[in-house]
Amino acid sequence: MQVIENSKVKEKVYISKLKNGLTVMIIPKKDIRKKYVIWGTNYGSNDYKFVVPGENTETEVPKGVAHFLEHKLFEQENGVNSLDALTALGVDANAYTTNDHTAYLFECTDNFYEALDELMDYVQHPYFTDENVEKEKGIIGQEIMMYDDYPEWKVYLNAMEAMYHNHPVKLDITGTIETISNIDKEILYKCYNTFYNPSNMALVVCGDFEPDEILKEIEKRLIDNKSNGEIKRIYPEEPKDIVKEKVEQKMEVSIPLFNIGIKDVDVKDDEKVKRHIAIEILLNMTIGKSSNLYKELYNSGIMYNVPSLDYEFSKGYAHVLISGQSTNPELVYEKFKEEINRLKKDGINVEDFVRIKKMIYGNYVREYNEVGDIARMFLSDYFKGINSFDYLEEIETINEKYIENILENLFKEEKMTISVVRT
């Protein structure tokens, strides 16, 4: 078992690669009552075109299979819904699908091993029939229609479509009513057998555990399964330029919503973490809570809340997103561009840089207070090829020169888009 320790947060992660290829990460938290388990597969909505290990031909499945599969795994052959079974044990259980991974999880203080039995049983025993697949289409169809009525979701999807020509990150994770109509049990089993192989999965446990003991408990609940080799994922070629600068949609909202996007496609693997931190610092300096621009927009009544600042990245895509509400989104966009140009011209304010960097470091440290935050973070980062401790180490290497380089090369007007939803 490999042990990686970080002295800054006084935490250790115990990593074990099992014979079947499954990666298990254990983060012990002494004297903490809560226990958290998350079991994920490196399979998300973007993975609809691939070559199955051992095959030569390309497989393409309908959009939305990863999310459909997540829904279906809870249904067992004996008629029990595993989510109901976990809830009956008094644990907080859930599952989710993203662009690049799917995860099944629970948090509890009691009945941990009974809940672990249930989790590891249903994830390893899919049960799909013609009848239950057809029934699920109606349920997910309702979910798709519901999201179509969410202004927050539409403003996000419209921003993705304004940035990306071909990459599936621009598509709805759930698929569409039309695409899910083409899903059948054979497709579900093929995707399950391809992507839910242990060699494509990781399990993270966080709580008051002895690493050797909990690892044995996990191993004895695993069914006999062999690693099936690397899956070749196929993504379309994505141009560097954006599709269009602005997209607007009319919906019922009290205050207009906006997403400002900046497309970033040239991310080197060895620079992912450093780049992410630098962008986070820059966003907080330009339009974060303590920035002069945000104060100006707030005091003038153009914005009432601090915008959400994100950098999203995975295989073949990366982008900045600034999301919020404003009485005049276009003015926010113009003011943001003006602030970027001012920073390029005048240079980075060193005091602001140092202060924001310390604030972000403090945020990273606080993420280690909650078992759920820790486990989800380690799983998500693992599928991106990152050890979560890297953020605590890399932040020290970032200086003003690196920040100014990112500012100059990424924050360009020709890479920017704005999506607006207003009444």
Neighbours of 315 (CB within 10 A): 18
Neighbours of 282 (CB within 10 A): 25
Please give the DSSP secondary-structure letter assigned to residue 307: P
Tokens matching residue 278? 């630098």
Catalytic (active site) residue 330 = no
pLDDT of residue 59: 96
359 close to 291: Cβ distance less than 8 angstroms = no
Q: State the Cα–Cα distance between residues 65 and 52, nearest whole angstrom.
A: 15
Q: Let me know if 337 is exposed, middle or buried by CB neighbors in 10 A (0-12, 13-18, 19+).
A: middle
* CATH number given to 2-233: 3.30.830.10
Give how far Cα 223 sits from Cα of 20, 122, 202, 219, 390, Å. Answer: 10, 11, 15, 9, 33
Q: Is the dihedral of CA 13, 17, 21, 22 positive or negative?
A: negative
Q: Let me know if 115 is exposed, middle or buried by CB neighbors in 10 A (0-12, 13-18, 19+).
A: buried
pLDDT of residue 269: 78
How much is the pTM?
0.93
Nearest partner of 124 among 32, 16, 36, 201, judged by Cα: 201
Catalytic residue, candidates 70, 136, 280, 339: 70
> What angle separates helix 272-287 from helix 329-346, to the nearest 10 degrees?
110
Nearest partner of 253 among 154, 321, 332, judged by Cα: 154
Between strands 416-422 and 246-250, the pairing is: parallel
259 close to 320: Cβ distance less than 8 angstroms = no
Looking at the domain covering 246-422, what would its CATH class be? alpha beta
Tokens matching residue 34? 């809560």
Q: Do the two domains 2-233 and 246-422 of this chain adopt the same fold?
A: yes
Predicted confidence pLDDT, tens digits, the chain (423 residues)? 999 999 999 999 999 999 999 999 999 999 899 999 999 999 999 999 999 998 999 999 999 999 999 999 999 988 889 999 999 999 999 999 999 999 999 999 999 999 999 999 999 999 999 999 999 999 999 999 888 889 999 999 999 999 999 999 999 999 999 999 999 999 999 999 999 999 999 999 999 999 999 999 999 999 988 888 889 999 999 999 999 999 999 999 999 999 999 999 767 878 899 999 999 999 999 999 999 999 999 999 999 999 999 999 998 899 999 999 999 999 999 999 999 999 999 999 999 999 999 999 999 999 999 999 999 999 999 999 999 999 999 999 999 999 999 999 999 999 999 999 999
> What angle separates helix 292-299 from helix 329-346, to the nearest 10 degrees?
150
Strand, coil or helix: what is 108?
A: strand
Side chain identity, residue 262? I
pLDDT of residue 267: 77
Domain boundaries, given as residue ranges, for the chain: 2-233, 246-422
Q: State the Cα–Cα distance between residues 150 and 10, nearest whole angstrom.
A: 42
